[in-house]
Amino acid sequence: MFERPYIVGNWKMHGTRAMLSEARAIDRGAERLMKVEVALAPPFTLIHATRKEAGLIGVGAQDCHPAEGGAHTGDISAAMLKDSGAGFVIVGHSERRADHGETDADVKAKAEAALAVGLNAIVCVGETEADRDAGKAEAVVARQLDGSLPQGESAAAKVTVAYEPVWAIGTGRTPTVEDIGAMHCAIRQRLNAIYGEDGAAIRILYGGSVKPENAAELLGADEVGGALVGGASLTAESFLGIVAAAHEALEA
Ligand code: PEP
């Protein structure tokens, strides 16, 4: 595992102000587990309040529009996210790729828009079950990386990659530790090819049905620098269980 693992909670379309108590509890818990970098991506409507309530952890968004502004009803620009207190944005989540038809080029444009205003970007990639069954998982992920990662000066320093096999998201199923390690090593090679020596420092998160019970095992796979967590990030109890597992793994 990386020196300081990064555990990010993606609240998806969950949460009203009543859930800020969970964010506060996560923030307080993270204070005891400082070897781990902890962050939450609540829905847009809670970013500002989460930033105010949780002073220690990172706070980010789940998407942004690639344009600086304009006639895009219902969309949010990267600059607006920054203004509301976000420090990063997740782009290319498989639910956005599927629900909104986002292409690799769209994801790259969003990531570059984020970096342009000083946000960090978590770029998600991952194969479908059909891709894996057809033996195409690594090729699909390599193509997504080539098409989705932002370019430009010091881009690598602001990017995190999240490997999330689509079939593992919210299903309770996970790849084996060996399969995760193999994919993360393949991603590392691709990052080195894309960014040169800067590729070595990019954290690669695993995402897909991470829970307190399996976190230590999954985080122990080769080249895993942390986790992107959906369902298990919705309560402080389960999310802090994952953070604690990462913390303990570093102490072991
Ligand atoms: C996610 O959607 O990013 C995710 C990993 O979800 P879950 O942890 O619920 O599988």
Catalytic residue of the set 65, 93, 184, 247: 93
* 127 counts as catalytic: no
Domain that holds residue 95: 6-232+241-251
Residue 148 lies in a domain: yes
User: Residue 10 CA: which ligand 1 atom is closest?
Assistant: 3
pLDDT, tens digit, 9 for 90 and up, residues 214-230: 999 999 999 999 999 99
Domain count, the chain: 1
Residue 200 CA to ligand 1 center (angstroms) comes to 25
**Residue 1 resides in a domain:** no
Residue 252 pLDDT greater than 90, yes or no: no
Output the ligand 1 site: residues, CB below 6 A: 10, 164, 169-170, 207-210, 228-232
What does the alpha-carbon distance between residue 44 and residue 59 come to, in Å, rounded to a whole number?
11
Q: Choose the residue to mutate in 229, 238, 239 for probing ligand 1, maximizing ligand atoms within 8 Å of C-beta.
A: 229
Q: How far is the CA of 229 from the centre of ligand 1 (A)?
A: 5
Residue to probe by mutation, ligand 1, list 125, 210, 243, most atoms within 8 Å of CB: 210
Report yes or no on 93 lying in a domain.
Answer: yes
Q: How far is the CA of 158 from the centre of ligand 1 (A)?
A: 22
| Average pLDDT over every residue of 21-49 | 97
User: What pLDDT is attached to residue 1?
Assistant: 55
Give 250's pLDDT tier (boundaries 50, 70, 90).
confident
Mutational test site, ligand 1, from 6, 7, 8, 10, max ligand atoms within 8 Å of CB: 10
Which CATH number belongs to the domain containing residue 68 in this structure? Answer: 3.20.20.70
**pLDDT class for 3, splitting at 50, 70, 90?**
confident
Over residues 155-165, the pLDDT tens digits come to 999 999 999 99
> Could you tell me where the DSSP H helices lie in the chain?
20-31, 44-53, 78-84, 94-99, 104-116, 129-133, 137-148, 177-195, 212-219, 236-251
Alpha carbon distance 215, 248 (integer Å): 11
Among this protein's residues, is 48 annotated catalytic? no
Considering the domain boundaries, does residue 151 fall inside one? yes
Backbone angles phi, psi at 50, to 5 degrees: -65, -40
Other C-beta atoms lying within 10 Å of the C-beta of residue 233? 29
Reading the block at residue 106, the tokens are: 């769209």
Is residue 103 included in any domain, yes or no?
yes
Residue pLDDT, tens place only, 11-32: 999 999 999 999 999 999 999 9
Interval 74-94: pLDDT, tens: 999 999 999 999 999 999 999
Residue 251: predicted pLDDT:
76
pLDDT of 140-192, one tens digit each? Answer: 999 999 999 999 889 999 999 999 999 999 999 999 999 999 999 999 999 99
Distance of CA 71 to the CA centre of its chain: 28
Give CA 93 to chain center in angstroms.
8
Burial tier of 86 (Cβ tally within 10 Å: 0-12, 13-18, 19+):
buried
> What is the 94 CA–ligand 1 centroid distance (Å)?
10
- 197 alpha carbon to ligand 1 midpoint, in Å? 30
Q: Is position 47 within any domain?
A: yes
